[in-house]
Structure 1
Amino acid sequence: MARFFNTAGPCRPDLHYMVDPLRRIERLRRLIDRQSYFVVHGPRQTGKTTSLLSLAAALAQEGRYAAALLSLEVGRAFPEDVGAAEAAILQSFREDASYQLPSDLRPPPWPDGAPGHRLAAALAAWAQACPRPLVLFLDEIDALTGPTLLSALSQLRGGHRRRPQGFPWAIALVGMRDVRDYKVTAGEGAQLGSASPFNVKEESVLLRDFTREEVSGLYAQHTADTGQVFAPEAIDLAFQLTCGQPWLINALAREMVDELVPDRSVALQPAHVRAARDAIVLRQDTHLDSLAERLQEDRVRAVLEPILAGSTLGAVPEDDQRYAMDLGLVRQAEGGALEIANPIYGEILPRAVRDCGCFSRRRSVARAERGSPAAEGRARHRARRGARWLGRTVSRIDLDSYASSIERPMPTDREQPCPSSEAITRRRRPQRAPPPACR
């Protein structure tokens, strides 16, 4: 079967074009050799599962360690029932291990134990029975919430002092967030706020995006297989629009070679990259659609609202800024200020804000309700400012609808409606700046 650009699930070298999955996580080997317990985190669909599956396989094949990637996601359904969550998680562990490891390295029968102790007892039994040091990558740890999350972290912390004979040699917690940002409650709830339930963590590793060189190498694999060439200018533009975000890089290429230019004799040009960008933005694929879910969190909105409005962050806590960066929504520009992570997200996020109506409204509405003309004027100015920013960034957007979504309606005899998107686009077009360069 011919290889293709993957946009769903872990990559496989026999099916997909791939950047070397071990290249971005080279530092993990040092942590493993030191018997470290650590955290690997990064936004969704950036290659965490692919990279760690490859590292686990490489470690096992080298003969020094027994290593596996195990998922805790099934425990999500039991946030308040620790015993039921442990039973589901341990069954999932056994299934994952049977797929990844030879029979002599798989876990023994799990011992019985009281709820709240079964996870630690199972890992201790496995470490003692395994003929090699046991290295585990625990994926989707941040899918757990409530007592189930706290119990799992506490059991892992408690077993740390018994390693390596009585507990796994090294453990990595894998998810979208760092430990302090794990949610204690489901939905919009409190975060741990510290690494205390897992204070044996030696390091947190954020999985980086692709470099320009890696993007070029990825696209060159398609050229080698099919003969279809990516023009250097097309590769440059793809990197500029995505800043190396792995899902976007693959989605652009897949749209170009599968839908826009299936004729392999036709070279891919910057115009094809732009057309692919427009297609995936309008189609709102799962990855892009999931961005709206992040906007439901107050601490994310607190960071994005001033950036989208073109103002400074002010008193936004550094923890919230770092959290938005960890989720891949924003990045630090060369001057130190935060900006939207890449130009494609720069088009998606304002639309998501408009569609879900989740822009923070408390401050502006509170000012307007005080009845002060000056306060109402400031509120209207914020609506105009945000609308004009969107007019520069996203074409064909209903600015009037956007303004009404972030402010309460103002009296028609005291305020004219925001100018139309066409008027703003026409007025702003000559000054439109190119997308920021990615570092």
Structure 2
Amino acid sequence: MRTFCTSGPVDKKTCYYVERPDIMEEALDHIENWRYFTVSAPRQSGKTTLLRDIVEKIKDKYLTIFISFESYEDKDKEDFLETLVMDINRSNKKIYGKKMELIIPQKIDKIRNLIEELNEKSGKEIVLMIDEFEKLDEKIMNEFLHVIRSMYHDKEIYGLRSVVLISVSYLSGILEDNASPFNIAEHMEVPYFTKEQVYDLLSQHERETGQIFDEKVKELIWHNAAGQPGLTNGLAYDLVAKKAKGEKIITEKHFEKTLYDYLRVYIDKNISNIINKAKKEKELIMKILFEPEKIEFNIYDENIQYLYLNGVIDNCDGKCCVKVPLYYKALYTRFRPKVNGEKSEMKTLNESVKTYLRKDGSLDLNKLLERYIKYIKNRGAIMFKGRNYYEGVYQYNLDQFLSLYVEAAEGKVYPETQIGGGRIDLLINLNNKEYLIEIKSNIDEDQYEKSKKQLVEYLKRSGSKEGWLVVYSNTIEDFKQEIEEINGVKINVWFIKTNFESPSKVN
């Protein structure tokens, strides 16, 4: 019986597998047209699995060599050349079941002789695929690429039909520099799964085992992993092997437990890698997380490029963003501003959430926001005075406050939740009802009008008739609430004052 693969590459015999026809067609087209190209994607994105699938499709037509430079990092030239030949023969044995007697080149330039020898002995044109190419020593890499480039101009003579270099990111200095020895290359990125591909993956399990994913769970897997192959498989595996093992239907309750463990209990390799990379650009990632839509995406900015190439951030309509919600939640938790120690002020010992619940179990959110304002009036001088906070600080403060009450009623508060192509800042789910909250800080009149329109759009997409806009401002004189009807939906606007007397003047 097959299962969800949590460590690649994927073996089709033992793991569920998603066909990726578009990217496969692009790669095969490059090879058929004698193109040399690079393939990039963050780790656990399925690039090695894809390339191995390509090997299976072309190995009878071409001499296909698939090797990895993962262990080449500290090799000198002599060791590099010897290991290269050994790895080529290992590839031949794995793919074709036999080795060749090959002469080890004495110089990197003599690699051209090795390629000629392979071509002559096999009688086939060669497709050379090299995984983890970025691990190669920079000087050796440069010489190696000069040789490949020189053969490219006589590729039919050498029989070197295609060279495919595979890495976790763009090969900096190779693709971008016009003087590069390898500026002949095309570039191909391996995208995450589409929603249809995620559902296809889950349906394979359903067909083979009879265990069913609730439709809401499928949506949650798609939303939280955003199609990232490693995360998608990881979430699904945890659900079927741990949270819902032996049960007929995998429910939303099962998923909530899996999500909790991913964010607070497990040391997931994908999330750990993202956090470690983000730590190296802490100031920038703080701005991207907590000043949303304000950091312009520019691939030539080295700091932005570093986060992008390592799969931490993405380009969202020209702005830097964290596209994978599970990554966002992990980074949000790890880098959120330190405003802890406030819980006892937010919800006192004698307060009950029942005060803010109506008879039908729905949340009286306006009444709860009145309680929030009472808290801010009492603690605002300590919380906000003299601090140049990112917008996310306010979001986290409100998130922390609401969670104390909502979770007491067995509900959930979700930050940055996908709503039909956009993201709402906070979403409350309580007793099967959703409450959408958009948060802004220190905006002008034009931005204020735009924010209301944005919230209306989110409400329409979700089918809700009422939403909340919370505006933090250091220029208003007092707290206030306004209610508007816009295009058939109700907008509750709460203005939160953040300019207070210094803490020393507060009783």
TM-score by length of 2: 0.65
1:128 and 1:390 map into 2 onto residues whose CA distance is: 65
SS at match of 2:180: helix
**1:89 matched to which residue of 2?**
84
1:239 aligns with 2:222: yes
Letter in 2 for 1:113: Q
1: distance between equivalents of 2:171 and 2:74?
Answer: 20
Distance, in Å, in 2 between the alignment partners of 1:432 and 1:270 is 18
1:319 corresponding residue in structure 2? 300
Matches within 5 A, 1:364-375: none
Counterpart position of 1:332: 315
Q: Deviation of residue 339 (structure 1)?
A: 1.5
Tell me the amino acid that sits aligned with residue 255 of structure 1.
D
Amino acid at match of 2:208: D
Question: Considering only aligned residues, what root-mean-square deviation do their CA atoms show, in Å?
Answer: 3.1
2:387 is aligned with 1:380? yes
Whichever residue aligns with residue 344 of structure 1, its letter is L
How far apart in 1 are the matches of 2:321 and 2:153?
A: 42
Q: Which residue of 2 aligns with 1:156?
A: 148
Residue 164 of structure 1 aligns to a residue in which SS?
A: helix
What percentage of residue pairs aligned between the two structures are identical? 18
The Cα offsets for residues 313-334 of structure 1, whole Å up to 9 and x where unpaired, read as: 557743244553343222333x
After TM superposition, list the pairs within 5 Å mapping 1:44-193 onto structure 2. 44-60=43-59, 63-78=60-75, 81-103=76-98, 107-114=100-107, 116-180=108-172
- Separation in structure 2 between the aligned mates of residue 67 and residue 251 of structure 1, nearest angstrom: 31
Mapped partners of 1:195, 1:378: distance in 2: 51
CA contact (8 A) 1:25 1:207 kept: no
Cα pair distance change 1:308/1:111, threshold 3 Å: same
CA shift in 2, pair 1:129/1:392, >3 Å: farther
| Residue aligning to 2:14 | 15
Aligned residues: 368
- Partner residue, 1:288: 271
Q: How does the TM-score come out when normalised to structure 1?
A: 0.75
| Larger CA deviation: 384-393 vs 118-127 | 384-393
Query: Aligned partners of 1:433, 1:308: CA distance in 2, in Å?
Result: 10
Gapped regions of structure 2 (runs ≥ 5): 338-383, 407-411, 423-507
1:155-184 C-alpha deviation (Å, 9 max, x unpaired): 2222212213315210111011122267xx
Contact kept? 2:329, 2:415, Cα under 8 Å: no
Structure 1 CA distance, aligned partners of 2:122 and 2:191?
33
- Larger relative helix fraction: 1
Q: Distance in 2 between matches of 1:220 and 1:147?
A: 48
Deviation at 1:378, TM superposition (A): 10
Shift of the 193–35 alpha-carbon distance from structure 1 to 2, 3 Å rule, reads: closer
Farther-moved stretch of structure 1 (194-203 vs 254-263): 194-203
- Following TM superposition, by how much is the alpha carbon of 1:223 offset from its aligned partner in structure 2, in angstroms? 0.9
Retained in 2: the 8 A contact 1:82–1:151?
A: no
Higher strand proportion (structure 1 or 2): 2
Aligned to 2:15, the other structure's residue is in SS state coil
Q: What does residue 306 of structure 1 align with? A: 287
Is the CA contact 1:70–1:97 (under 8 Å) kept in the aligned structure 2?
Answer: no
- Structure 1 pair 54–315 and aligned structure 2 pair: CA distance change class (3 A): closer
**Secondary structure at the counterpart of residue 74 of structure 1:** coil
Q: In structure 2, what is the Cα distance between the partners aligned to 1:351 and 1:94?
A: 48
Partner of 1:343 in structure 2?
325
Deviations for 1:238-259, whole angstroms, at most 9, x for unmatched residues?
1111111101110010000000
| C-alpha deviation, 1:307, in angstroms | 0.8
**CA separation in 2, counterparts of 1:160 and 1:14?**
37
Q: Which has the larger radius of gyration?
A: 2
